[in-house]
Structure 1
Amino acid sequence: MRAMIKVTSLSLLTVTMIGLNGCQSLKSKSLFGKKDEVKAVKAENSEQGYYNEAQNNLSKGNYAKATANLNDLRTFYPVGEYSEQALLDLMYSQYQHGDYLDAVASSEKFIQLYPTNPQVSYAYYVRGVANMQTASSGVLKYAKLNPAHRDTGYYKLAFSNFQELIAKYPSSQYAPDAAQRMRYIYNQFAESEMQVARWYIKRKAYLASANRAKWVFQHYPQTPVVPEAIATMAYSYDKLGMTDTANQYKQLLKINYPDLLSNDGNVLLENTRSAGDWLNKLSFGVLGKSEKTQVNDSNATGNTATKPQVIQSVQQAMQLQLATTQAENEQLPEMAQPRKVNLGLGLPEEQ
């Protein structure tokens, strides 16, 4: 018992001595040796020195080195003058280096530690953008695949992040770009549902295709795939022999989308998918450092939108909701199911 008390006291003394010097940390040479050597590691630079070195590396695009500088700064000077700004720069550096999960973690840490910081909306923004890119790393990111046909898990998370940002900070300089990204994600979910409907059409499962298209029509009415959803319902009900129902949707097509009907009243599904129809033709704001790169109104909306238009865009985004349930509980045949592989959720290249 005395030996145990002696060791505990020694440990407390060691921690206390190190705690008195903010520029030291513990380093153990061995995890399993009987006599682990424990020594204090002193900071090799001043707080200002770490910060200046980090800024120099950031300006040169040396993001790995900048990340190391900023981590050292926060390790040795956790409550220093630059601790908050260092964390903002850290999430930016991690994002630029492709360490998206780390950027998300740093953003969430900043939100938790500094909720009243004037730049906290930047942390909310970085978290959402990083979550959109989380699955983009790896070899499969180079596959030419419509993002809507990929695993949508991180889209949901990013949508929620942006939703929280514009709800808490609707006047933030990052809100317009967040609103556009929400619109993009919203459209991708609708496109994902329509991809399933097309799969059913090819296999002549017309009831299933009609139900899936109806789901899109009801839950994603503000998306570019709505004309195709209506045409799919008209086509599917026609094939099922439900003529009256099919004619109702054909009438809707005739009024709103006459190009989707032939002269003899047949649905032209091939006309519903024009090239690039599923894309949001937008230029998203470029993620920059919190104190310099501000996503202004013109960059965030992809054009020279006026301030009222930007405000309207944000307000409209607040009304968007992702459907939380499936149209049906049908299961695709095991061997024929579309692959659910994380091929990345990066935004498509500008065309």
Structure 2
Amino acid sequence: MLQFSNLGFLIVNRILPLILVLLSALFLNGCAIFGAPTELDDTKGWQADRIYAAGQEKMQDKDYDKAIVYFQKLESRFPHGAYAQQAQLEIAYAYYKKDDAVQCTAAADRFIKLHPNHPNIDYAYYLKGLATFNERGIIEKLTDQEINDRDPKTLKLSFAAFKDLTDRYPKSKYFKDATQRMVYIVNALAQHELHVARYYMQRTAYVAALNRAKYVIEYYPNSTGVEEALVIMVSAYDNMEMEDFKNDTLRILKTNYPENPMVTGKVKQDEKVWWKFWKNF
């Protein structure tokens, strides 16, 4: 009786685990041999126009992931012809609608490289500009930051894409919108520099503030931020007691912006903290 008990103990504790390991190995090998079950392809036997229509339908339903799948299948099965080329543009647009600036830009760049003489190539450049123009990071979305508070890198990429469009295709139907966006971007970039300059002024880092203001005047001379840049420069020079530079800059301000509060002396009380030298005029 004792012998049978020892035998059962041996089977349960030593042999059974080995059997389970062997069964697991056989199961995994079976999966490797036969593979995972394949997803049914609902486009099997479809022609290019039908796949394209299905992709367009998904775009209208705002199911952009499925639309991309359809357009990719179309391009893969029918790589030559108008439908394949249009599918490439649709893929870029779908990524744009998904707020995926990286993939949108990559798809647009691919189209530009493959079809440099395509009649709709201006649209690919336009999409590139839009993708980075609207790009916002997670923190920016959560905090609802203004565009001039954002990292200027994406705005500069957007400007470059729109500039390519306007330089290459001045008769494009996207020319006017791209030009207006470029003006907006320049003003936003200038405001970004001024935002930083104001930060430095508040912390009495006058040299840093001065450099930011000079940057606006040098690189964004047609922006709406030039007037404030001059004001910051005058204030920074005054705080550093650099009278000659202050007076020269103030003269430029008076000539170009005679109605500026710093020139007329009409300023709100809470704004005087910016310019301590007001009392001298």
* TM-score, length basis structure 1: 0.61
Matches within 5 A, 1:111-260: 111-134=112-135, 136=136, 138=138, 140-255=140-255, 256-260=257-261
Q: Quote how far apart the aligned CAs of 1:263 are.
A: 5.9
Report 1 or 2 for greater relative contact order, CA contacts < 8 Å, sequence distance ≥ 6: 1
Tell me the alpha carbon deviations over residues 47-82 of structure 1, each in whole angstroms, 9 at most, x when there is no partner.
222112122223333333322211221122222551
Q: Quote how far apart the aligned CAs of 1:245 are.
A: 2.2
Distance change in 2, residues 1:263/1:66 (3 Å) = closer
Q: CA RMSD in A?
A: 3.3
Tell me the alpha carbon deviations over residues 129-155 of structure 1, each in whole angstroms, 9 at most, x when there is no partner.
112234x25464142222222212222
3-state SS in 2 of match to 1:261: helix
3-state SS in 2 of match to 1:68: helix
Match of 1:56 in 2: 57
Matches within 5 A, 1:1-351: 35=33, 43-44=43-44, 45-134=46-135, 136=136, 138=138, 140-255=140-255, 256-261=257-262, 270=271
- C-alpha distance in 2 between matches for 1:264 and 1:158: 40
Among the aligned pairs, what percent are the same residue?
32
- C-alpha distance in 2 between matches for 1:170 and 1:84: 23
- C-alpha distance in 2 between matches for 1:251 and 1:53: 65
* 8 Å CA contact 2:258, 2:264 repeated in 1: no
Count of equivalent residues: 242
- C-alpha distance in 2 between matches for 1:228 and 1:139: 28
Q: Which runs of 5+ in 2 are unaligned?
A: 1-27, 275-281
* TM-score, length basis structure 2: 0.74
The structure number with the bigger radius of gyration is 2
- C-alpha distance in 1 between matches for 2:152 and 2:263: 35
Write the letter of the residue equivalent to 1:210. Answer: L
Q: Quote how far apart the aligned CAs of 1:270 are.
A: 3.2
Q: Quote how far apart the aligned CAs of 1:86 are.
A: 1.4
- C-alpha distance in 2 between matches for 1:83 and 1:163: 27
- C-alpha distance in 2 between matches for 1:179 and 1:268: 39
Q: Which runs of 5+ in 1 are unaligned?
A: 1-29, 274-351
Distance change in 2, residues 1:239/1:152 (3 Å) = same
Write the letter of the residue equivalent to 1:217. Answer: I
* 8 Å CA contact 1:165, 1:175 repeated in 2: yes
Distance change in 2, residues 1:268/1:171 (3 Å) = farther
Distance change in 2, residues 1:201/1:81 (3 Å) = closer
Tell me the alpha carbon deviations over residues 73-122 of structure 1, each in whole angstroms, 9 at most, x when there is no partner.
11222225510111122222221232332221211111111111100110
